[in-house]
A and B are shown apart, each in its own frame.
Chain A
Amino acid sequence: MFEIFGIPSQALFGQLLIGLINGSFYALLSLGLAVIFGMLNIINFSHGAQYMMGGFAAFILLQQTGLGYWPALIIVPILVGITGMIIERTMLQWLYKLDHLYGLLLTFGLALIIEGVARNFYGSAGLPYRVPDSLTGGQNLGFMFLPNYRAWVIVASLTVCISTWFVIERTRLGAYLRAATENPALVGAFGINVPRMITLTYGFGVALAAFAGVMAAPIYNVSPQMGAELIIVVFAVVVIGGMGSILGAILTGFGLGVIEGLTKVFFPEASNTVIFVIMVIVLLVRPAGLFGRRA
């Protein structure tokens, strides 16, 4: 046991870990928002509700079919992603030419409906979801105890985030996406099916939210408001990182999670507001966000 700046190392590293865990979810969710905003020009306010759908879908899958955590981690993002694609085809596609506000209002309404339905069937109390057997327990690192499941969340989130960044920034498919973000009409005139690409992009962004929801279920429990609580912070993360910036969303997500964790150690009273204080400062100094390109 040792101390850093008068703080016991256990407490410091413990909060750092919580910061990284929260950061993992901030990064996954803001990444999805950034991908969707970049391609669809829509601020997906139902992102939190879709994250919650992921948690609930995992819970229901276990209850109804006995399928546990690992199958859920694959199946749930696909299922929720498909509901996203249906929403895109039936509703969002009519809004692209309008102001951002319309997409925001529609997805906000959808979020309220989805959360209302969940509350109607399952109430407001959190439902427990067990950590998978293969990831119970933890490692004693000497300076702190690291639960296996939490280590997994950090690794999985980093892997998904880096893979997504790689696909978008370094592959041919990603080049189509970036080009279509810039000039969809011309990309279409090259023979590429841009509307289908947009549908798949929204589906993928929603699937990322659902994936985060499944991963969150064993940590935070499953409840109808789990998304609403998180999404406000995630929007601040997106604003700080810069709307539409992939790398910005990832780095800001993890970075702000850690800053929030450290604030809990050094000045706990500010831990709930530190992200919003940073958001205000960034908006004043760099309105396009830390990684944003000026439109």
Chain B
Amino acid sequence: MLDPQSVTHAARAPLLSVNNLQAWYGESHILHGVDFDVMPGEVVTLLGRNGAGKSTTMKSVMGLVARRTGSVMMEGQELISLPARKIARAGIAFCPEERGIFASLDVEENLMLPPQIRPGGLSREAIFELFPNLKERLGSSQGTKLSGGEQQMLAIGRILRTGSRLLLLDEPTEGLAPVIIQQIGKTIRALKEQKFTILLVEQNFRFASTVADRYYVMEHGKIIDKFANSELDANVGKLHDYLGV
């Protein structure tokens, strides 16, 4: 079942275009030429086993890996040589795998920390509509005292204020209870309706299949396959091989 919207998107220029992205941690060469595109309004998921390079790809796009080469284009602007703060200013917001909630900041301060980089971000009220639990925890003294699910919602909620239209979500469901995972899924679909573009890293392709338009599969620091959500059923066998599930 092909989403008619993604067909029209495909005809336009990509919002994010990554070409021959290579990255190193110290001496070890982690990414060996990663290529993928994300169209405006799409939810694209990077799948792959542990250590395939998914998170490193995301961090390299965000400028958080010291040594990287290739090309990362956002709305036609080359980001590969820019520091992370300028990449953020180009309109990319990042929600890290470890969530990155600050222990020395209370919940309110954590939520308000990322500066607005362009107009059009969600208001606090809109964020609390997506995450009603967060509003109840506003008085909480320390951001890290929240439950894992609440921390994840806080980590996603705070980047929605910034006005960035491209969100990088690194394993947002990791270690969470099924009911929380469902809520995260609902949130991602709501954000998609609000025309956010989302690049998702996931190991859990069942979860990914409830939100994603397209998939790229990674192995050994490279993209080895790609398909649309409509082709998922035909590719389940291959995916099981790729992911070892």
Contacts and interface: CB of A to CB of B under 8 A. Distances in A.
B126 interface: no
Contact of B100 (A178, A183, A194): A183
A27 to B, nearest CB: 21
22 contacts: A175-B112, A175-B113, A176-B113, A178-B102, A179-B102, A179-B113, A181-B104, A182-B104, A183-B100, A188-B88, A189-B63, A189-B85, A190-B85, A190-B114, A190-B115, A190-B159, A190-B162, A191-B86, A191-B89, A191-B117, A192-B85, A193-B85
Given A175-B109, A189-B62, A190-B115, A183 B102 contact: yes
A61 B117 CA distance: 43
Contacts of A178: 102, 104-105
Contacts of B112: 172, 175
Contacts of B117: 191
B62 A190 contact: no
B103 interface: yes
A213 B100 CA distance: 40
Contact of B103 (A172, A182, A194): A182
Contacts of A191: 85-86, 88-89, 114-115, 117, 162
A198 to B, nearest CB: 13
Given A175-B105, A183-B100, A183-B102, A188 B83 contact: yes
Given A181-B104, A188-B84, A192-B115, 13 more contacts: A172-B112, A175-B112, A179-B104, A182-B102, A182-B103, A186-B100, A188-B83, A188-B88, A189-B62, A189-B64, A190-B114, A191-B114, A191-B162
A193 B88 CA distance: 11
Interface string B37-75: 000000000000000000000000011100000000000
A191 B62 CA distance: 11
Contacts of B63: 189
Contacts of B109: 172, 175
Interface in A235-285: none
Given A185-B64, A185-B84, A190 B104 contact: no
A181 B105 CA distance: 11
| Most interface-central of A179, A186, A188 (chain B CB within 10 A) | A186
Interface in B112-133: 112-115, 117
Interface in A192-226: 192-194
Q: How large is the interface on A (under 10, 10 to 19, 20 to 34, 35 or more residues)?
A: 10 to 19
Closest 9 CB pairs of A and B: A191-B88, A190-B114, A178-B104, A189-B84, A175-B109, A188-B84, A186-B100, A179-B102, A188-B85
Given A179-B105, A181-B104, A189 B115 contact: no
A234 B102 CA distance: 30
A189 B105 CA distance: 17
A101 B63 CA distance: 29
B82 to A, nearest CB: 11
B96 interface: yes
A189 B102 contact: no
B196 interface: no
Interface in B150-206: 159, 162
Interface in A146-162: none
A201 to B, nearest CB: 15
B102 to A, nearest CB: 5
Nearest to A180: B102
B102 A190 contact: no
Given A175-B112, A176-B113, A194 B85 contact: yes
